[in-house]
Amino acid sequence: MRNLTEMYMELSAPIFSYLLRLSGDYDLAEELTQETFLGALQALPKFREEASVKTWLYAIARNTYLSKINKSHPKGIVFTSFDEEFLDGGERSADPAEQLLQKEQSLTMQRAIYCLPETYRTVIILREFEELSYGEIVKILGKTENWVRVTFFRAKQKLREAYADLERGKESED
């Protein structure tokens, strides 16, 4: 087992990114990242190494997020804004018009992800953005691989619908 400082140096950025995508709030994601590592420090003696440190931390991060949301926002977190620079992982075109279009599409996709129920949002983020395997997601969520695969499939369908709805909404504003 590595020490907590090494774990923090290696995994704080991915944990923060996950929490930012999950919550849509930069400040909350920072706070939850710190709480995640504090929780990991407190739980370290109980860590049995049945999962990797990475999946263990993602599970702590998710539980920290859910605990915070249930306490402070019983009906779910209220969307504030996305830190576009942090969330935008796409390549940029040299054409300013193309850059604007890419930025709008990226923001629409983030909003569509945020519209999903938490479980779907979590599975999409872990699989697509954090690039975790189904096996790692199974360990984080404590579900079967079949459940994760089915949920991921359903989440992608719901994401397509949410994205299309947001796009239609933008068209009607124009």
Place of tokens 């930025």: 103
Residue 97 pLDDT class (50, 70, 90 cuts)? confident
Give Cα separations from 126 to 71, 85, 123, 148 (angstroms). 24, 19, 5, 11
Is 22's pLDDT higher than 70?
yes
Chain-centre distance of CA 98, in angstroms?
26
Is 78's pLDDT higher than 60?
no
Give Cα separations from 122 to 33, 88, 125, 173 (angstroms). 16, 18, 5, 30
Residue 50 pLDDT class (50, 70, 90 cuts)? confident
Query: What does the mean pLDDT of the chain come to?
Result: 84
Is 2's pLDDT higher than 80?
no
pTM of the model: 0.76
Is 92's pLDDT higher than 70?
no
Region 128-143: mean pLDDT is: 94
Chain-centre distance of CA 56, in angstroms?
15
Greater pLDDT, 61 or 169: 61
Q: Which domains does the chain have, with CATH numbers?
A: 1-83 (1.10.1740.10), 96-174 (1.10.10.10)
Q: What pLDDT score was predicted for residue 79?
A: 47
The pLDDT tens digits of the residues spanning 153-169 come to 999 999 999 999 998 88
The pLDDT tens digits of the residues spanning 29-47 come to 999 999 999 998 888 878 7
Q: What pLDDT score was predicted for residue 48?
A: 76
Query: Which of 42, 44, 18, 45 lies closest to 30 in space, CA to CA?
Result: 18
